[in-house]
Amino acid sequence: MEKMLMKGNEALAEAAIRAGCKCFFGYPITPQTEVAAYLSRQLPKNGGVFLQAESEVAAINMVYGAAAAGVRTMTSSSSPGISLKAEGISYLCGADLPCVIINVQRGGPGLGGIQPSQADYWQATKALGHGDSRVFVYAPNSVQEMVNLVVIAFDKADEYRVPAMILADGLLGQMMEPVSFPEISANKTEKPWATDGHGNNRPHNIANSLYLKPDVLENSIWERDSRYKQMEMTETMADYYCCDDAEIVVAAYGASSRICKSAVKAARDQGIKAGLFRPVTLFPFPKNELKTACRNAKKVLTVEMSTGQMVEDVKLALECKIPVEFYGRTGGIIPTPDEVLAEIKKLNENKGE
């Protein structure tokens, strides 16, 4: 189809419809409100249910119900709202229920502010809910990629029975870019576990995260952990720009990766061997891809719209063999390409140290 101009939040919503999402439950919050506004108009026209819940907590528990019934389902919020959903997300993990959760990040902590931020990295990748639970975390950096990753998120969530998060930010949610929708054939994973009516032909299916016997619980956790390990082996995604001969590798995801790309281009124009490594999956983190990107690196610079969270994963992946520096702005302030360029130059001057 011909390209159309869409807002990031609208693109997330339209992609969900095309990926076969039939139930959306949410509660409004800036800067993701257009996701819900769009779905309230369009989802019912496409045979789905849009429901504005009484709270974020209610919404995520409705997602639990729809997911248990085997339906493709989604919720969407921004940082403080995601914190409210935390308990429900852990329950979804514990009951092995697939769903898609969108976080269009804003400044925190607390109510913070409505401007873009990437300060929920730790929450998304390490502890979105309590217990030994993880979720897929996809970090788009363009409106087109928001479309593509929503489709992948639904497929992978179903395949692994693990919730998937799209970790965007206010900048991506609000910006307009041309997009096209590729032919999407909703991947139909069999769901023999779904609570969709036994018809007297099979035992009851129960979606549950409560185990009365510790050893049974432990076994279920290790089984789930083996799926997380499998995700780390086969489901990582990353993007490279000018990394082949790069001595200074900038590591950044989402909106900040676009700012960094401008800075890397400018550095190259000035003869500095700079490159950009962009993780697309934040969990599982693309460790091997990062090592490949840094094969000629003398210094690594992680750039985030936070006080420095992904920088820890970058250091771990590189096993501290290459010095990793950090530059960030936070609280809704977006770093400029010039600021990042200045940091690249500084590292380039001291790259021998």
Partner 1 sequence: MIYIITGHYGAGKTNFSINLALHLAKAGENVSVADLDIVNPFFRTADFGSLFRENNIELLSSKYAVSNLDIPSLTFDLTEPVSNGRTLIVDVGGDDEGAKALGRYKNTIGTMPYEMIFVANFRRYLTQTAEQSLQIMREIEAASGFKITSIFNNTNLGEETTPETLEKSKAEAVKLSLISGLPLIYKNMEIDVFVKTPFYNK
Shortest Å distance, C-beta 112 to partner 1:
8
- Residues lying near partner 1 in the complex (CB under 8 A): 2-7, 10, 14, 30-31, 107, 112-115, 170-171, 174-178, 255, 258-259, 261-263, 265-266, 332, 334, 336-338, 341
DSSP 8-state secondary structure symbol assigned to residue 205: P
Least distance to partner 1, CB of residue 94, Å: 35
Which helix (H) or strand (E) element contains residue 275? strand 274-279
Please, what is the minimum distance in Å from the beta carbon of residue 303 to partner 1? 13
| Partners of 299 in the β-ladder | 248
Q: How far apart are CA 143 and CA 32, in angstroms?
A: 14
In angstroms, the first-to-last Cα distance of the chain is 52
Q: From CA 59, how far away is CA 265, in angstroms rounded?
A: 43
**Token duo for residue 178:** 């041309």
By C-beta, is 56 or 313 nearer to partner 1? 56
Q: How far is the CB of 4 from partner 1 (least distance, A)?
A: 4
The whole-angstrom separation of Cα 144 and Cα 177 is 8
Nearer residue to partner 1 within complex by CB, 8 or 20 = 8
Q: Which is nearer to partner 1, 276 or 324 (CB)?
A: 276
Instruction: Decide whether 83 or 205 has the Cβ nearer to partner 1.
Output: 83
**Residue 344: CB minimum distance to partner 1, A:** 12
* Those residues with Cβ within 8 angstroms of residue 260's Cβ, 6 or more apart along the chain or in another chain: 250, 252, 276, 303, 337, 340
Judged by beta carbon, residue 127 or residue 342, the one nearer partner 1 is 342
3-state secondary structure of 300: strand
Distance CA 215, CA 181 (A): 47
3 versus 130: smaller Cβ distance to partner 1: 3
Q: How far is the CB of 338 from partner 1 (least distance, A)?
A: 6
